[in-house]
Amino acid sequence: MPHFKKRWQLVLVIVLAIMLIVLTVLTSEQRINLTKVEGVVGDIISPVQGFMYRVATSVSQFFQSISERHQLLEQYEALKERVTQLEQQQLEMDEVIRENQRLKRLLDFKEEKDHFTVEGVRITGKNPGNWFNTMTINKGSNHGVTVNMAVINDRGLVGRVIDVGGNWATVRTIIDGQSSVSAIIERTRDNGMVKGNNTLTFEDGLCRMINLPLDSDVVKGDRVITSGLGEIFPKGIPIGEVIEVLDEERDMYKTAIIRPNVDFMRLEEVLVIRSADE
């Protein structure tokens, strides 16, 4: 029985194939009226033709969609790479803009302080830690830089040179615990010494002004500038602002806590004062 069923299926396929061929031959010429045989054959074959057409269309659309997806994927990867390039270019452009802004501020400050002869330098290194207690600059004795030259930026006093090589120098900043700067309260004209708070075990990026007279009326918000004493720092360079005044009875002097004008965590370019004409 199964053998007979397979033969019957084969015969049916052969008959359908013959009918398709006959229909093709009979309808190859355009005619208005069809014979009954052609009509019967057409009725039988038409659904088969429609099914085969739909299958062929679906297969064609499937492969076409695969091709389109591949093209879209290539376009996506190309666009993603382009976006990455544009983002990098934007970062580089932003960095150039920020650098130009910093350099312009330094140039404007230099023109305002025309009695200073300064050398523009770039910071190339700093000591370990969160703050610039000491830092390395990219110019030295070959450029006229010597020990004890004052270092500033457009916001105020940075520190002084403590060591010099041919093409480099080391700067100790005013927030370092070993730094001392003779200073005055701009409003009251009280003299004192500004020392850095940062040590090996403690860092806050602040300074303290010691040896202020007990009768000084220094208050929060007062500005502190260099006094010009000591022949290292020219007079009148901004140092910082008083944020707290310590007045204890057992002390012979007042102490003021100073927040420096300079942002030591973000220093990149500074000026070395090679000479100052008072």
Q: Exposed/middle/buried for 203, CB within 10 Å: 0-12, 13-18, 19+? A: middle
pLDDT for 114 beyond 70: no
Q: In sequence order, which residues have a C-beta less than 8 Å from that of residue 241 and are 6 or more positions away?
A: 221, 222, 223, 224, 258, 259, 261
> Is residue 273 a contact partner of residue 254, using CB atoms and an 8 Å limit?
no
Q: Looking at the structure, do residues 229 and 261 belong to the same domain, yes or no?
A: yes
Per-chain mean pLDDT for the chain: 79
Q: What's the domain range around 165?
A: 118-276
186-217 per-position pLDDT tens digit = 999 999 999 999 988 888 999 999 999 988 99
On whether both 84 and 191 belong to a single domain, the answer is no
Would you say residue 227 has pLDDT above 90? yes
Nearest to 211 by CA among 257, 259, 254, 258: 254
> Total domain count for the chain?
2
As a whole number, mean pLDDT of residues 21-48 equals 57
Cα(113)–Cα(119) distance, integer angstroms? 13
Cβ–Cβ under 8 Å, residues 270 and 119: no
Q: What is the 3-state secondary structure (H, E, C) of 103-132?
A: HHHHHHHHHHCCCEEEEEEEEEEECCCCCC
- The arithmetic mean of pLDDT across residues 90-104, rounded, is 65
- At residue 215, the 3 state secondary structure works out as coil
Beta bridge partner(s), residue 262: none
Instruction: Tell whether 130 and 250 lie within a shared domain.
Output: yes
pLDDT category at 1 given cuts 50, 70, 90 is low
Tokens of 258: 């100073």
The DSSP annotation for 43-79 comes to HHHHHHHHHHHHHHHHHHHHHHHHHHHHHHHHHHHHH
Q: Which tens digit of pLDDT belongs to each residue from 58-87?
A: 666 666 777 777 777 878 778 778 777 777
pLDDT for the residue numbered 70: 75
Q: Which of 97, 112, 127 is the last residue of a domain?
A: 112
Same domain? 267 vs 131: yes
